[in-house]
Amino acid sequence: MRLAALLFLGSALGFAGNWSGILVDSKGYASEQSNVNKNPMTLDRDMAFEVRYCSPNVRTKAFSVVLPDWDSLEFDSAGNAKAAELARKTSKKSVLDVTVIGDLNKDRIKVASISSDR
């Protein structure tokens, strides 16, 4: 019986993930991503600007981590609370590189921990 419990616990920990990227305001980044110019002559997007523009502030309630390929993963409510605490500790409108540990369910992370990479 103990062996079964240990195997279950080990398998549950095996699904945990680790993501590194930039912490952003989830709603702002989603808005910027959907604001696409349909002109075929304008192919370049300044993704670095979009990330800076969507940097979280003290009033941000929903957070995402933007991965190196510019995809983003949203946080669960507990993760949003942890990210808000981290964002409050940083300067205003700064790009914040973070590492997030948790479980992925579709495109939302159940955050176990979040830390700054500074």
Beta bridge partners of 108: 74, 105
* Cβ neighbours, 10 Å, residue 111: 23
Q: How far apart are CA 1 and CA 30, in angstroms?
A: 47
**pLDDT band of 3, cuts 50, 70, 90:** very low
Q: pLDDT tens across 51-80, in order?
A: 888 999 889 999 999 999 989 999 999 999
SS3 of 56, please? coil
Domain-embedded: residue 8:
no
Q: pLDDT tens across 18-36, in order?
A: 999 999 999 999 988 887 6
Domain-embedded: residue 66:
yes
The pTM of this model reads 0.77
The domain of 50 spans 13-116
Domain-embedded: residue 17:
yes
